[in-house]
Amino acid sequence: MTDGTLTVEGTVHIGRRGRGGRKELRAGDAPALPPPGRVPRVARLMALALKLDGLVRAGVVRDYAELARLGRVTRARVTQVLNLTLLAPDIQETLLFLPPVAAGREPLALRNLQPVAAIRDWRRQRRAWHELSRRRLSADAGEEK
């Protein structure tokens, strides 16, 4: 004799749609957690520089001055960020995929990259980058030990 109950087995997780969104019951395992730490600021600035450069090239915005007005920052700041697009493509890629910063100060700052971006010859730029990254990034790895 059955008592009318039904047992269902499966894996579910509670998720949200967007930040602060309504909770939903979803089938399957919960998504993997993001790696610990935060995305380095220079990686975010490199991505921003590529996006802003694309907006100017596509004609969505007229020039850097308009970007500055829209972003409520100075034209000098927009120029500093967009100078990252002058870096050799392999350096840009390295910046975009820097490992997360677990805690403390970031090993590399925008001000460290400005002299490298000012070098127009990519071969010389790469040498300057290797020297900078050797000093900055390897020194940071040594502190974690």
The domain locations on the chain are: 41-144
**What local confidence, expressed as pLDDT, does residue 69 receive?**
96
Note the pLDDT of residue 145.
38
Query: Could you report the per-residue pLDDT of 110-137, keeping only the tens digit for each?
Result: 999 999 999 999 999 999 999 999 887 7
Confidence of residue 139 (pLDDT cuts 50, 70, 90): low
The angle subtended at Cα 15 by Cα 45 and Cα 10, nearest 5°, is 135
Residue type, 15: G
Q: What is the pLDDT of residue 66?
A: 96
Of the pLDDT bands very low, low, confident and very high (cuts 50, 70, 90), residue 142 is low
CA distance 56 to 58: 5
Instruction: Give the 3-state secondary structure of 109-127.
Output: CHHHHHHHHCCCCHHHHHH
Q: What is the pLDDT of residue 116?
A: 97
Residue 2: pLDDT band with limits 50, 70, 90: low
